[in-house]
Structure 1
Amino acid sequence: MIVDLPDIAAMEVFGARIAGQLRVGDVVALSGDLGAGKTTLARAIIAALGHRSEVPSPTFTIIETYDALDPPLVHADFYRLERPGEIEELGLDDYREGAALIAEWPENAGGFAQEPGCLSVTLENAGEGRTAIVLPGSSWLGREP
């Protein structure tokens, strides 16, 4: 599925659509070049789940948790990982238990596309806006974001 995101408002609507379908165990894997809008979309999802404070980019902390949301959420940015095995050192599986995951730069963590709960979203620049190429895992089928 391809989604046109001509502006921030469209990104927020798309984020709300994803948030409305998000379940514990799901992964929203956000790929794209630097500046493609991964963090903007992550912030839109987190806000749509009810978080009212600032959403820092986890570029340096790598993992931010939002336990009070429904579902609880882990926001991870794997940009700085040098090898996929580093996610084990970070204890990602422990963070993910009982939560959904938003993963920026998922390819640096070995990817999540093999998981049935993975919604892969590749963001590309399209003029002034963005285009999202969305590939749902098997457990997303029937849950249109």
Structure 2
Amino acid sequence: MPLVVYDAQLLAAATAFAGATYQSWPDVPPYTSNPEADCIGIVSSSPRHGTDFGLVLSRGLLTQVQAVLADDVGLAQRDIDEYIFALLTFARASGGSIVADPPLPATNPPHVEVPLELASRAGNMLVAAHPDLVKLGPRWGPQRTFVLRPRDFTEKVDAARRTR
């Protein structure tokens, strides 16, 4: 089963914009007009599709998500906590995991380095909405880590799930 890391911007956008909610996620296929929410829907519905994708999270990544939702979006702490709990539940149910934060070199800011390191260590796939990460794709680093945009990922998963 492939493991996937989502960056903080994708995780925040999935619940904060376009009428998304942390209580209901799209089931891909079909994908919707909100690719970030579709990405969460992919891992939340993964057990129904043979656990085809496992979500990998870390404390540092979740701290970034919390900061974006609190500072940039203005979500109430209660809603943020419920969303974080949902993400943890999806990670475990999808066959993913919550891993220790990687040691970070000082070469890139944490919003870039944390998801890159997690992806290269955990599963070799990063789905990123942040422009600094997107420009590194489609393959990055010595491990040739996949870096995909949310729409590209949802379209590929949609096609793969339809062929089953």
Please give the range of the TM-score, normalised by the shorter of the 2 chains: 0.3 to 0.5
Larger helix fraction of residues: 2
Q: Greater relative contact order: 1 or 2 (C-alpha under 8 angstroms, separation 6 or more)? A: 1
Q: TM (normalized to structure 2)?
A: 0.32
User: Which structure's CA Rg is the greater one?
Assistant: 2
What is the TM-score when the length of structure 1 is the normalising length? 0.34
